[in-house]
């Protein structure tokens, strides 16, 4: 068995980094669920602005990217 050296210690690359704070996020259009995301980070990976979506989830904004966003508890 070969030994693998992991040298990229960026937080995003570490397994289970900050999983305690992950909350699922639902994308809503016209009252219908479009997609459920595992976290705000995965929303950002799909090209949406992280901070605006977070503000929608905290009810500080009505929409972001043309969609409503809510946390799933």
Average pLDDT over residues 42-64: 96
- Print the domain residue range for 60: 21-72
Average pLDDT over residues 29-51: 95
Write down the pLDDT at residue 16. 56
Q: Does residue 73 have a pLDDT over 70? A: yes
Task: Establish if 54 belongs to a structural domain.
Answer: yes
- The total of structural domains in the chain comes to 1
- Using a 10 angstrom Cβ sphere, with 0-12 exposed, 13-18 middle and 19 or more buried, the burial of residue 72 is exposed
Task: Establish if 59 belongs to a structural domain.
Answer: yes
Q: Does residue 64 have a pLDDT over 80? A: yes
Q: What is the pLDDT of residues 1-29, one digit of tens each?
A: 565 656 666 655 555 555 667 899 999 99
Tell me the average pLDDT of the chain: 85
- 39: CATH: 1.10.10.10
Task: Establish if 11 belongs to a structural domain.
Answer: no
Task: Establish if 12 belongs to a structural domain.
Answer: no
Task: Establish if 42 belongs to a structural domain.
Answer: yes
């Amino acid at each position: 068995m070969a030994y693998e050296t992991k040298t990229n210690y960026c937080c995003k690359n570490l397994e289970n980094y900050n999983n305690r704070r992950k909350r699922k996020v639902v994308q809503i259009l016209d009252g219908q669920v479009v997609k459920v995301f595992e976290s705000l980070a995965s929303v950002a990976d799909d090209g949406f602005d992280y901070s605006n979506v977070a503000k929608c989830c905290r009810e500080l904004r009505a929409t972001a990217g043309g969609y409503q966003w809510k946390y799933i508890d």
